[in-house]
Chains A and B, each alone.
Chain A
Amino acid sequence: MIRIYRALLVAQIQAASQYRVQSILWMLFAVIRPVIFLAAWVAVARSQGGQIGAYDVRDFAAYYICLSLVINLVTSWNAYEFEFEVRMGRFSPKLLRPLHPIHYSVVENVVWKLTTIIPLGIILVFLALTFDARFRTTPAHILLFVPSVVLAAALSFLSSWVLATLAFWTTRVHAITTLWDRAGFIFAGQIAPLALLPGPLQAISLALPFGYVLGVPAEILRGGVSVSTALVLMGGQVFWVVVFYVALQRVWSVGVRQYSAVGA
């Protein structure tokens, strides 16, 4: 398995190195939305004398910079490609290969993250300086952030595969993924840090998987939660990863049988 992964990794890095400009441009998507909402929250905080709840302007800056990094590390685009491949009938050859298609997808995502991390880091440092961000991060937070972001990436990856697998039945999952993305827009900590969401929204975001994908690791990296709270939140992450792992296995085994190639 390790040998397979090494081969896939090399092939994917070679493929990705041909599209360097593209990967930098796509990375902007991970930066621009956090900056937009950061600017809005800074304006709101200024109108209220500089402080909203436990956040002042510099805390908002730190939160959204962490969020941008987390978005880049966590997001996977599988559902979009998957639907396209199923609809075009391009998925069939992948099914015939001896390796489960999910492994290609894992490697693609890892390489994408590796190639974008350095330019993104430069942009984020620049943002941290312009917005004068204040991080409350301690070494313990960084230790917790690593497993937390891995869990979040796994959660996002597995959930997007579960959604994508629905393409076996409908061949059009675009509507479903939009719904999912917009729920993430509200509940994942993009429009506001989870702590600032109004009561019911906050409850939903922590009861459903959304908050655990972006908001939780971002808040841990910023040092916005205590170590014990962070551990509880990571428990939630583990729970949802297990749920989606089981769900994917079920959905996949039923779905593959259901699949009849378009164009066949």
Chain B
Amino acid sequence: MKRYLRLLRIFFRTELQYELEYRLNLVLEIVQGIVVTGTSVGAILVLFSYTTVLNGWDLGAMLVLLGCFYLVQGFGELVLQPSFEKFMEHVRLGTLDFALLKPVSAQFLVTLRNFQVVQLAQMGLGAIVVVVGLSRIPNIGFAEAVGFPIALVCGFALIYALLLALSTFAFWFVRVDNLMALYWSFMDAGRFPVDVYPGWLRVTLSSAVPIGIAVTVPAKVIAGRLDPLGLGFLILGTIAAFVLASWFWRLGLRSYTGASA
């Protein structure tokens, strides 16, 4: 475990050094993040200029939700998107061999290897939006304060499991960029609570593409609107998704032959 954390730190540091080479780019990316987050907050404000409550979510809770959306999305773009893109390239080129031969878990080495460090800024902006939203919520109890990070980590893990399962198809079909595009197009739906959507979309966002859950549940927890039972289900579901996706990945790995073999 300690070894893995040390590896993770090394990966992160090299990627940080790499990105610091392009400082102007870094600044531009941060400015873009501010614009994107600001306009999304603007959209929420426009909606709330006509109402005080949206499906039981008031403005404070809604801002928390938007912040969670950017936290989850930022996490996806921080490590998952760059790593999984690299992974699919490895499968295509046959260079996955090098990862498989190293004396650590191949799944770890492949899926948490690459970082877009600048996305930390996006996550930071998300955190700011969460804090602003929380300032409008009168009292936050101990249970909420503990449950929130747990639910958020579950959200991250759900997204991880989903992307891991999707990218595993690369072992059989090689080019699965399209499946990833499907994920990205659905991702946008996380900006509103999953309960506003019509039935078929709500079911999709809670099961096959669990973006709705990954964003909505943490926001619900901190706004004091989730019972312990719901949180328990989330934890169990996340563990199940993680185990299932990892199993699927190993299954796919067996079909990997290397490009030149």
Contacts and interface: CB of A to CB of B under 8 A. Distances in A.
Contacts of B55: 43, 46-47
A186 interface: yes
Given A35-B201, A185-B43, A201-B46, A26 B181 contact: yes
Interface string B182-220: 100110110110001110110000000000000000000
The 6 A-B residue pairs with the shortest CB-CB distance, nearest first, are A191-B43, A175-B28, A28-B185, A43-B196, A182-B39, A43-B55
Contacts of B47: 40-41, 44, 191-192
Interface stretch (B29-37, B102-110, B127-135): B29-37
Interface residues of B, number: 33
Which among A44, A52, A174 has the greatest number of chain B C-beta atoms within 10 A? A44
Nearest to B42: A186
A32 B189 contact: yes
Interface string B110-138: 00000000000000000000000000000
A29 B36 CA distance: 17
A35 B201 CA distance: 10
Contacts, number: 91
B32 A40 contact: no
Contact of B196 (A39, A48, A183, A192): A39
Given A32-B185, A198-B46, 12 more contacts: A25-B181, A35-B189, A39-B196, A40-B47, A43-B54, A43-B55, A46-B55, A47-B52, A174-B32, A175-B32, A178-B36, A192-B43
Contact of B35 (A46, A130, A179): A179
A243 interface: no
B28 A21 contact: no
Contacts of B200: 130
Contact of A185 (B39, B50, B185, B196): B39
A29 B192 contact: no
Nearest to B55: A43
A33 interface: yes
A42 interface: yes
